[in-house]
Chains A and B, each alone.
Chain A
Amino acid sequence: MEQAIMNNLSFPILSTLIFLPVAGAALLLLINRSNENLIKWLSLIVSIAAFIISIPLFTEFKKSTHLMQFTERHAWIPSLNINYHLGIDGISVLFVLLSTLVTILCVLISWNSIKAKAKEFYISILIMEGAMIGVFCALDFMLFYLFWEAMLIPMYLLIGVWGGPNRIYAAVKFFLFTLVGSVLMLVGIIVLYYQAGGTFDILELSAKTYPYKLQLWLFWAFFAAFAVKVPMFPVHTWLPDAHTEAPTAGSVILAAVLIKMGAYGFIRFSLPLFPEASKAMTPVMLALSVIAIIYGAVICLAQTDLKRLIAYSSVSHMGFVTLGIFALNLQGMEGGILQMINHGIVTGALFLSVGMIYDRTHTRQIADYGGVASAMPVYASSFMILTLASIGLPATNGFIGEFLIILGGFKASQWAGVLAATGIIIGAGYMLWLYQRVFFMETNQKVAGLADINLREIITLLPMIILIFWIGVYPNAFLGFMHESVKHLLERVNSGSMPEAGVTKNILEIIK
Chain B
Amino acid sequence: MNNYLLIPFLPLAAFVVNILFGRKYLRENSHWVSILAVAGSWLVTVMILINIITEKKVINEDLYSWIVSGEFKVSVGFLIDQLTAVMLVVVTTCSTLIHIYSVGYMHGDKGYYRFFAYLSLFTFCMLMLVMANNFLQLYFGWEGVGLCSYFLIGYYFDKKSASDAGKKAFIVNRFGDFGFGLGIIMIFLTFGTVYYEPVFSQAKGFAEQTINFLGYDVHLMTLIALLLFCGSIGKSAQMPLHVWLPDAMEGPTPVSALIHAATMVTAGVFLVARCSPIFSLSETALIVVTLTGAITSLFAATIGLVQNDIKRIIAYSTISQLGYMFLAAGVGAYSAGIFHLYTHAFFKALLFLCAGSVMHAMAGELDLQKMGGLKKYMPVTYWTMLIASLSIAGVPGFAGFFSKDEILWLAYSGSSPAGKFVWAIGTLVAFLTAFYSFRLIFLTFHGKFRGTHEQEHHLHESPKAMTIPLVILCFGAVASGWVGIPHLLGGGAHFMEFLKPVLGHPEAQGTHAKEWMVMGFSVIAGFSGIGLAALFYLVKTDIPVMLAQKFKATHKILWNKYYVDELYSFIIVRPAIWTAKNILIGITDAKIIEAVVNGVPKGIGELSRLMRKAQTGLLQHYAAIMAFGLLIIVAVMLLR
Residues of A within 8 A of B (CB): 173, 176-177, 234, 237-238, 295, 298-302, 329-331, 334-335, 371, 373-374, 377, 381, 388, 393-395, 399-400, 403-404, 406-407, 410-411, 414-415, 417-418, 421-422, 424-426, 428-429, 432-433, 436, 439-443, 473-476, 479-480, 483, 487
Contacts and interface: CB of A to CB of B under 8 A. Distances in A.
B65 A476 contact: yes
Given A425-B174, A440-B163, A302 B581 contact: yes
B158 interface: yes
B301 to A, nearest CB: 30
Contacts of B593: 234, 237
Contacts of B274: none
B108 interface: no
10 contacts: A234-B593, A298-B580, A330-B69, A403-B67, A425-B174, A426-B576, A433-B167, A475-B66, A479-B69, A480-B68
B166 to A, nearest CB: 8
Interface stretch (B88-96, B137-145, B394-402, B449-457): B137-145
Nearest to A427: B174
B157 A176 contact: no
Given A421-B181, A428-B171, A440-B157, A476 B72 contact: no
B354 interface: no
Nearest to B160: A441
Contacts of B561: none
B182 A417 contact: yes
Contact of A428 (B71, B139, B157, B170): B170
Given A330-B70, A428-B171, A237 B178 contact: no
A60 B601 CA distance: 49
Contacts of A335: 69
A325 to B, nearest CB: 14
A334 to B, nearest CB: 5
Contact of B167 (A234, A394, A436): A436
A301 B65 CA distance: 37
Max chain A CB contacts within 10 Å: which of B23, B157, B579? B157
Nearest to A238: B597
Contacts of B188: 407
A474 B65 CA distance: 8
Contacts of B579: 298
Contacts of A299: 580, 584-585, 589
Contacts of A177: 597
Contact of B160 (A331, A334, A442): A442
Interface residues of B, number: 52
B178 A425 contact: yes
Contact of B171 (A298, A418, A425): A425
A410 B182 contact: yes
A406 B594 CA distance: 31
Contacts of B136: 394, 403
Interface in B191-205: none
B251 interface: no
Interface string B35-71: 0000000000000000000000000000011111111
B539 interface: no
B213 interface: yes
Contacts of A441: 157-160, 163
5 shortest interchain CB distances as A-B pairs: A330-B70, A302-B580, A440-B163, A394-B140, A302-B581
Contacts of A480: 68
Given A299-B580, A432-B150, A479-B67, 10 more contacts: A237-B597, A302-B581, A335-B69, A403-B136, A410-B185, A421-B178, A424-B181, A440-B163, A441-B163, A483-B70
A428 B174 contact: yes
Nearest to A301: B580
User: Majority SS of interface residues in chain B?
Assistant: helix
A394 B580 contact: no
Contacts of B601: 176
Given A395-B144, A442-B160, A476-B67, A424 B154 contact: no
B33 interface: no
Given A393-B143, A424-B178, A432-B167, A410 B189 contact: yes
A302 B164 CA distance: 17
B182 A173 contact: no
Contact of B70 (A295, A300, A331, A394): A331
Contacts of B70: 329-331, 334, 483, 487
B175 interface: yes
A436 B140 contact: no
A255 B66 CA distance: 28
B214 interface: yes
Given A425-B171, A428-B174, A436 B163 contact: yes
Given A176-B601, A415-B214, A439-B157, A475 B580 contact: no
Contacts of B181: 403, 406, 421, 424
Contacts of A330: 69-71
Given A300-B580, A441-B163, A331 B72 contact: yes
A417 B214 CA distance: 10
Contacts of A479: 67-69
Given A377-B23, A441-B163, A237 B580 contact: no
Nearest to B64: A474
A407 to B, nearest CB: 5
B401 to A, nearest CB: 39
Contacts of A393: 143-144, 147
Contacts of A394: 136, 139-140, 143-144
Interface string B146-163: 010010001001111001
B158 A443 contact: yes
Contact of B158 (A374, A406, A422): A374
B126 to A, nearest CB: 14
A474 B76 CA distance: 10
Interface string B563-600: 00000000000001101110011001100111001000
A407 B577 contact: no
Nearest to B111: A377
Contacts of A374: 158
Contact of B213 (A411, A414, A424): A414
A298 B584 contact: yes
A479 B73 CA distance: 12
B72 A407 contact: yes
